[in-house]
Structure formats: structure tokens, C-alpha cells
Amino acid sequence: MEKAKAMLADGLQVQEIAASLGYEDRPYFSELFKKHTGLTPTEYRNKKVISSSLHSRNVLLPSRGFRPIIESVAGRPSG
């Protein structure tokens, strides 16, 4: 599953990853991935993309909620 995570982060399609790792059935691969990580492959990729995007913009994640992130990205003061 670590290889699958890396491939997702590189932008490969779930079907391609499943096949390259020997899973002929994409839904079965997705089920196993979710059992291992707690996220579907697509959810994992989306989480990584958002996290990478925020990290590259030096936006710190607050401990709770999304409003401070949106305000800091938009350039508005939070609070």
C-alpha cells in the first residue's frame, strides 16, 4: 500500500495503480486501500493534493475549522 500511496501522490489513475500492483479488480483494490489507510484512493490523493498545495503556500492549518485557512489564503485577517 505504500507504493500505491506514492503512485497516487504522483497523479496516476487508480485503475493504473491497481493493475500495476497486480489487482485486476479496481473496486477490490480500493476496498483494501481503504481498510489499510482509512481513505479511498481518491480521498487519499485529494487529501495529499490539498495538503501539498497549502504547504507550498506556507499556509498553516488551524487546529479546528476551515475559516482561518480560507481567510488567510484570501489575504483577509482572521478573527
Orientation of helix 41-56 relative to helix 26-37, angle to 10°:
60
Read off the amino acid at residue 39: L
From CA 55, how far away is CA 51, in angstroms rounded?
Answer: 6
- Whole-model pTM? 0.63
Better pLDDT: 58 or 6: 6
CB 33 within 8 A of CB 40: yes
For residue 70, what are the contacts with CB-CB under 8 A and spacing of at least 6?
none
- pLDDT surpasses 50 at 72: no
Q: Using one digit for the tens of pLDDT, what is the confidence trace for 17-66?
A: 999 999 999 999 999 999 999 999 999 998 876 776 665 555 555 555 54
pLDDT, position 47: 87
pLDDT, position 53: 60
